[in-house]
Amino acid sequence: MQRIFSAIQPSGIPTLGNFLGALRNWVKLQDDHECIFAVADLHAITVWQEPAQLAQQTREIAASVIACGVDPGRSVFFHQSAVRAHAQLAWIFNCVARLGWLNRMTQFKDKAGKDRENASSGLYVYPNLMAADILAYHATRVPVGDDQRQHLELANDIAQKFNHDYGVAFFPPIEALVLGPAARVMSLRDGTKKMSKSDPSEQSRINLTDDAETIAQKIRRAKTDPQPLPGDPAGLDGRPEARNLVGIYAALADTDAVGVLREHGGQGFSAFKEALAERLVATLAPIAAETRRLLADPGTIDAILREGAERAAAIADPIVAEAERLVGFLRT
């Protein structure tokens, strides 16, 4: 059985993008993979997080992930900072990855923006930590949204260079699993920007905690164009907002753009948006309710994460100890 690793940052409330691009796939993969999932709090502090909020957001994201269907009995589920192996291996990888490789990362360029000089050095080496997350478990398959593809290519480069430099076949190749018709959900305000939990505009995203009325209202106000829906996907070219809503609908209805347009082609957006909002509410309302139920008992969430961290460390510690031995650290 192949081993899966993936993670989500506790940098806000998870969005529909996280759900369709990642969480929903995590849930399905549990059936036929050994799964390890983390809340990436080490990654979150690459940009400023209020300390009191970070701990609470870590719990909230954990509750959301469990509410989506990640089963901490079957899968290993924990928060990254509780397992020291991640930071230990990341340091070694900081010394394996080349500056030239990191300079090509488009997410760093996006997140650092114009004020590059003032970005944290953690934000710059973030992909090295991500490689360590995966390789500390010798995981071979990584379900992520489309935005993380480049980071996984870098993780493969790091694994290969480590193996080459130390003359071993220690780290396995990693395969990105970018699944479904909504691997890249775009902002509801701008079809060329990805939907993000850190976007300043609430209207740009659906949160997994939004109630039915909020979901319907955000979809009603979502940016579109004046044309009706086309009859086939070629008609979505140059219409990023329409393409996005069709992709979301397809993912929720377990079909593809062809299927959605066969049914809804020729329709105006107001009718289509109503059908879309209905689907969204049907999928997300039970998740929001379950998240609230779990959050009423934070002690149980903390206990789940603590136990997950113990199971995670039991896998990662020996692998990272072996990497340290290969590097040549004195073991007394």
Residues marked active site are found at: 111, 194, 197
In the bound complex, what is the minimum distance in angstroms from residue 330's beta carbon to ligand AMP? 37
**How far apart (Å, rounded) are the C-alpha atoms in residues 152 and 139?**
12
User: What amino acid is encoded at 105 in this protein?
Assistant: M
DSSP output for 308-322 = HHHHHHHHHHHHHHH
What is the smallest separation between the CB atom of 3 and ligand TRP, expressed in angstroms?
12
Interface residue with ligand TRP, options 24, 33, 43, 189 (CB under 6 A): 43
Query: Which of ligand TRP, ligand AMP, none lies near 133, with the C-beta cut-off 5 to 8 A by kind?
Result: ligand TRP
Please give the structure tokens belonging to residue 108. 């760093």
**Residue 165: both structure tokens together:** 């430099």
Q: What phi-psi label fits residue 129: left (phi over 0), alpha (psi between -120 and 50 degrees) or beta?
A: alpha
Q: Does 194 bind ligand AMP (CB under 6 A)?
A: yes
Q: Which stretch binds ligand AMP (CB under 6 A): 144-152, 209-217, 263-271, 295-303?
A: 144-152
User: Which residues ranging from 107 to 136 are in contact with ligand TRP (CB under 6 A)?
Assistant: 130, 133-134
Locus of tokens 């290519």: 153
Q: How many residues bind ligand TRP (CB under 6 A)?
A: 13
The sign of the dihedral angle between the CA atoms of 324, 327, 329, 332 is positive
Binder of ligand AMP out of 18, 58, 207, 283 (CB under 6 A): 18
**Sole window of 3-11, 111-119, 197-205, 323-331 interacting with ligand TRP (rule: CB under 6 A):** 3-11
User: Which one-letter DSSP state was computed for residue 2?
Assistant: P
Q: Are strands 76-79 and 34-39 parallel, antiparallel or unpaired?
A: parallel
Rounded Cα distance, 175 and 179, in Å: 12
Q: Applying CB under 6 A, does 215 fall inside the site for ligand AMP? A: no
21 makes contact with ligand AMP (CB under 6 A):
yes
The answer for residues whose C-beta is within 8 angstroms of residue 195's C-beta and 6 or more apart is 15, 16, 17, 185, 186, 187, 188, 204, 205, 206
If you search the block for the tokens 């997994």, which residue do you land on?
208
Q: Could you say whether residue 147 binds ligand AMP (CB under 6 A)? A: yes
Q: Which of 4, 6, 178, 196 binds ligand TRP (CB under 6 A)?
A: 6
Taking the alpha carbons of 66, 71, 75, 78 in that order, is the dihedral positive or negative?
positive
> Which residue is nearest to ligand AMP, using beta carbons?
21
- Selection from ligand AMP, ligand TRP, none that 195 binds (CB < 5 to 8 A by kind) is ligand AMP
| Of 243, 244, 241, the residue nearest 225 (C-alpha) | 241
Q: Which residues bind ligand TRP (CB under 6 A)?
A: 5-9, 40, 43, 130, 133-134, 142, 144, 148
Q: Which residues bind ligand AMP (CB under 6 A)?
A: 8-9, 17-18, 21-22, 144-145, 147-148, 183-185, 194-195, 197
